[in-house]
Structure 1
Amino acid sequence: MMIHGFKSSNQDFSFGPWKVTAIKTHIMKSSDVEKLAEEMHMPCLPEMMFGDNVLRIQHSSGFGIEFNAKDALKRVNKHQGVVKVACAEEWQESRSDSEHSKEIVKPYDWTYTTDYKGTLLGGNETFNVVSTAERINTEKLKAREQIMFFEEVLLFEDELHDHGVSSLSVKIRVMPSGFFLLLRFFLRVDGVLIRMNDTRLYHEADKSFMIREYTSREDKIGNLSHVPPPLYTEPNEISQYLPVLETTYEKLEFPALSGSENAAPVSTSVPNA
């Protein structure tokens, strides 16, 4: 469970042509949450909704990318798919005495699972997103280097009525050689499953693009009996035990150098067993 600092902060950090903005403020008021849920055609939103929190990376010429809760929730399935219904029923059976079990049969994804990868900024002059065979240089990231700026921003969290957790957070670190960002959706439904959707964004200062890697992992709790249960609550630890279901590798090319064609992302999917 994350520790929540409710002290509001608004930070800007500039380096080269880039500016990172990290805004952290209070949980949305329930009246605002209800209004937003109505606008988004969802029965309800996460109990801890940080609708005004944002992490933004913007170039001096205007293009960039930001991460916010509202856009992330737009990617939530409004009508449960087969897997979600099966999962909900399984969870409902294991929690038949729970008040929440009556609620989860509404036609929406009560886990708030999202495949959000960020919101592109800049109107007509924005990144050109193309599929790529390039990968994030993890060796370079492991090198000891001065961290000029670090911030983590929580976008939403829900405890699924004390039967697990669903959360979305984003963190960034800026080094002299570039920056690295991780957006992580983490879901644990006790007794049912663990799911992680990670978006990694890496920019090397001398390059005219960023690399964006998206990885979706998931497994049923029943398949994780070999993993010590304390790790179930540690995303960094449990990730290595979860099978990869989907990966997408993209290059976000800067607009001045981008071609006119948009290629679809390379995506490899494994059917959900």
Structure 2
Amino acid sequence: MEERRIDSTSVLSSCGSSTSLEASSAKMEEHTFNDWTVRCRVSHILPSKCSSSCRENELCIFCRYTKQLDVPHLPEMVFPFNVLELEHKSGCQVQFTAFEALKLVKKENFNVKIACSESWKKSREDSGIVEQKAGDFDWTFRTDYNGTYNGWSNGRQVSDTGIDLEVLKKREQILLYKDLMLFEDELHDNGVAVCNVRMRVMPSGFFVLLRYFLRIDGVLIAANDTRIYHEFSTNHVLVETAQREDKVDDLQVPLGMMTEPDEITSRLTLRKSTCEKLILPS
């Protein structure tokens, strides 16, 4: 395994920033495993105001998020510079960023009503973070983002095999582990909406878990998971997605478990799932 630190403007541009000032301070870790290169950066949250370096033809990171994303409000904590990218020697890439995740937030209002929703909207309007008034949109920031895929010229095939989770349970040396937050919101103290991505690399391959987790206290719990697995000895990457959701009243679990995404997610009812095989160029 090789490891070095680089400046990466190409990956930075996908995070929603292209200004020279911001790009110059963007340090990216780079690790090489077999035919794959893993790039990762963990950085600070989105600034709360426009940068003095912002120009009309070269927006600062704050303005790109507030003007180019089609949502009236952003989550309380957004990590625009956090990025995880896996690139095969053939040029095939899988990338995870907050900007791309938030692009898929639903435009229509979320159909679950709670008492705090109107006060939540009012607090956001009064915050001064954005000028646009709160309208109808999914205030839980639910996204079915499953990563950004580039260079997969061989396409994606439906797979019946799926990821063998028993293989992942085998004890194996962890060569690299990363846990990145993309965004988080506490829903005006009535729950949490969080999107994060975790990755581990073993001698046999790598595994990635991208998760959007939603808990509305006393109402419902939901999770959108994307699992990506590749064995270095094979010519394909498996991508599984799973959408799970239940009303809190239907869950027969201890209350403490509801605040632990890793514990409660497997107890939720599976509503939709897919499995695809991405073929690497020979």
Query: Shorter-chain-normalised TM-score: which range?
Result: 0.7 to 0.9
Q: Within 1, Cα distance between the matches of 2:123 and 2:159? A: 42
Q: Within 2, Cα distance between the matches of 1:40 and 1:138? A: 36
- SS of 1:232's equivalent? helix
Change (3 A) 1:233 1:170: same
Q: Within 2, Cα distance between the matches of 1:174 and 1:134? A: 21
Q: Please show how residues 1-273 of structure 1 align to structure 2 within 5 Å.
A: 10-31=28-49, 32-33=61-62, 35-80=64-109, 84-85=110-111, 87=112, 89=113, 91-92=114-115, 95=116, 99-100=119-120, 102=122, 106-122=135-151, 126=153, 128-224=155-251, 226-254=252-280, 256-257=281-282
Shift of 1:126: 4.2
Q: Show the counterpart of 2:3.
A: none
Unpaired runs of 5+ residues, structure 1, are: 1-7, 258-273
Q: Within 1, Cα distance between the matches of 2:73 and 2:66? A: 6
Q: Within 2, Cα distance between the matches of 1:30 and 1:131? A: 43
Q: Give the conservation status (yes or no) of the 8 Å contact 2:70–2:103.
A: no
Shift of 1:60: 2.0
Q: Within 1, Cα distance between the matches of 2:156 and 2:186? A: 35
**Residue type matched to 1:131 in 2?**
V
Shift of 1:250: 0.5
Count of residue correspondences? 237
TM-score by length of 2: 0.79
Unpaired runs of 5+ residues, structure 2, are: 1-25, 50-60, 125-133
Q: C-alpha offsets along residues 19-40 of structure 1, whole Å, 9 cap, x if unaligned?
A: 1111111001123445423212
Q: Give the conservation status (yes or no) of the 8 Å contact 2:192–2:216.
A: yes
The sequence identity of aligned pairs, in percent, is 42
Q: Within 1, Cα distance between the matches of 2:174 and 2:257? A: 28
Q: C-alpha offsets along residues 30-84 of structure 1, whole Å, 9 cap, x if unaligned?
A: 234454232122101111000111111001232110111111111110123xxx2
